[in-house]
Structure 1
Amino acid sequence: MDILIMKIGGSIQDKLPGSFYQMIAQLQQTKKCYPLIVHGGGPMINTLLEKLAIPTKFVDGLRVTTKEVLTVVEMVLSGSINNEIVTQCQIKQLQAIGLSGIDHGLLKVKPVQTIEAIGFVGEVTEVNTAFLMELLENNIIPVISPIGMDETGQHYNINGDMAASAIAKALGGKLAFISNVPGVMKQQKDKSNVYSSLTQVEAEQLIKEKIITDGMIPKVRSAIGSLSVQMKQAVILNGLEPEDIANYLKGNEVGTKFIYKEEVAYV
């Protein structure tokens, strides 16, 4: 049975309709997939940082994470947001467990290396897949907060998209970024169209042309980075249209798919 790793963006988490979680329940009950959720929480983190007068900035879509910022990030991600998603799952009779990457050595990390100093931002080096599979095979949905730890016990903020990508790659599952947009958009005159598929070369060109910008950059690069011979596809889907998930699993054209082969994108 397929494993479906769903990354729920912070911008849509509190806007997801009840039908979204009902769709997940149907997929699990009909054994269409093992669902797994990774979540972000950028907007709520921004709000709390502002209230606390803690400055924050981004470098290439990654939040610069000082010790002060890290404390707030953990509070929001592993606390309120994680609990809310687990609650919504339980309402729909889904057995879910809230976890951070710290729990049971779930996500081991090392610092992200960039030209600019970005503080305690980590990238995943190892995923405890045996632990996750034990939960999934017992019909328990892991709801994962993207916080990781290195060998010294230092905690790190992980970009949620990158965490989801690493988990999907480790499990060999299908990766879906649940967003508030139907995919990567292209403005054409008076209307916007969705790129139905993109290769790595095409996506990087759109970043260069600033068609893909801001927080969409790590999302797209995470989707591309998850691709391999074993995992040839990832997708960005609209969480406000929950049936898109079922259609994707059926192989229908929906959202923006990122493909391993160098195929031509079409709109």
Structure 2
Amino acid sequence: MTTKKTWVIKLGGAVLNNPAALDALFVALGSQQQANFVLVHGGGALVDSWLQDAGFATAKHQGLRISPAEQMPYIVGALAGCANKQLLGAALKNKLKPVGLSLFEAGINAEQKLKALGQVGECIPTADSILPLLIEAGRLALVSSIGFDEQGHWYNVNADEAAAAIAKLLGAELIFMTDVEAVLDQQGQALHQLDKAQIEDLIAQGVISGGMEVKVKTSLLAAQHLRRGVYISSWQKPENLIALLQGEHVGTQISM
């Protein structure tokens, strides 16, 4: 088996609207021969657009998209279809060997999180993942945040939670690449390190809220499960990724 370190990178869906940044990111990944990568992605802006075109209203609860059953064909099409294949095309263009997957193939089942959220799922890791085989074969797994339960029902899973579950499954390092360089304080300044007490304080003050609250809470849980720090950094600066892989401290590190 390979002895290379494996990194799970959660890629924010907004990067799909920035082809130059996407190319730069895959160039950066291709340059790092000493590591293996698994990309987990969302695509919130694309889902918003598809739902709006179909005449649906979008609602969120604590940063999670409420996903009624009648909206799921559009959510699945946007995430597992269009967004996943946009990433696959960009990876191919940059001479990588991608494989597009859902959470099921990656070894993650889903079950309903809360009835009020509709088809929003939470992650149930299994022992049946194709990822180790793909990593060994030198393939780049691109995993959409669409999950299935054992009855074959599909779920919209928060991509941050999905990335954390996959990192735990693989014993991998975890980076959340978002559209901000780091978590910010009250003055809009970057916070380079956050622990549980600081996170709870900033959430209580309303400094961290919405989607970033979900991301930070998920990062903290991941850090606790992985027993190591988890990073939040920006996809707009692929050099940040290379710096992190080389052990430098950029973005925000979430620790226990």
The normalised TM-score by structure 2 is: 0.93
The residue that corresponds to 1:214 in the other structure is 210
Cα deviation digits, residues 119-167 of structure 1 (max 9, x gap): 1111111145641011011110110011111122111110111100111
The residue that corresponds to 2:44 in the other structure is 42
Describe the SS at the equivalent of 1:124: strand
Q: How far off its partner does 1:11 sit?
A: 2.0
Distance 1:130 1:150 in 2: 15
The structure-2 alpha-carbon separation of the partners of 1:150 and 1:258, relative to structure 1 and needing over 3 Å to count, comes to same
Identity across the alignment (%): 28
**Displaced runs of 4+ in structure 1, greater than 6 A?**
none
Deviates more, 1:211-220 or 1:37-46: 211-220
Higher helix share: 2
Describe the SS at the equivalent of 1:226: helix
Q: How many residues align?
A: 251
CA contact 2:100–2:142 (8 Å) conserved in 1:
yes
CA contact 1:100–1:106 (8 Å) conserved in 2:
no
Q: How far off its partner does 1:186 sit?
A: 1.7
Cα deviation digits, residues 178-227 of structure 1 (max 9, x gap): 11110101243xxx311001012211221111111111111111111112
Distance 1:196 1:129 in 2: 36
The reply on whether 1:138 has 2:137 as its aligned counterpart is: yes
The reply on whether 1:110 has 2:111 as its aligned counterpart is: yes
Deviates more, 1:126-135 or 1:201-210: 126-135
The normalised TM-score by structure 1 is: 0.89
CA contact 1:174–1:231 (8 Å) conserved in 2:
no
The residue that corresponds to 1:23 in the other structure is 28
Deviates more, 1:228-237 or 1:18-27: 228-237
Describe the SS at the equivalent of 2:223: coil
Equivalent of 2:189 in 176, 190, 193: 193
Alignment of 1:14-93 (within 5 A): 14-15=17-18, 16-27=21-32, 30-31=33-34, 33-93=35-95
The residue that corresponds to 2:9 in the other structure is 6
Distance 2:234 2:213 in 1: 17
Consecutive unaligned residues of structure 2, counting only runs of 5 or more, are none
Q: How far off its partner does 1:12 sit?
A: 2.5
Alignment of 1:173-184 (within 5 A): 173-184=172-183
The reply on whether 1:228 has 2:227 as its aligned counterpart is: no
CA contact 1:236–1:257 (8 Å) conserved in 2:
yes
Cα deviation digits, residues 237-260 of structure 1 (max 9, x gap): 111111111111222120000012
The residue that corresponds to 1:119 in the other structure is 118
Amino acid at match of 1:147: I
The structure-2 alpha-carbon separation of the partners of 1:65 and 1:3, relative to structure 1 and needing over 3 Å to count, comes to same
Distance 1:241 1:231 in 2: 27
CA contact 2:231–2:253 (8 Å) conserved in 1:
yes
Consecutive unaligned residues of structure 1, counting only runs of 5 or more, are 261-267
CA contact 1:111–1:122 (8 Å) conserved in 2:
yes
Amino acid at match of 2:158: N
The residue that corresponds to 2:241 in the other structure is 245
Deviates more, 1:145-154 or 1:126-135: 126-135
Q: How far off its partner does 1:13 sit?
A: 2.8
Alignment RMSD: 1.6
Q: How far off its partner does 1:14 sit?
A: 2.4
CA contact 2:182–2:232 (8 Å) conserved in 1:
yes
Amino acid at match of 2:255: I
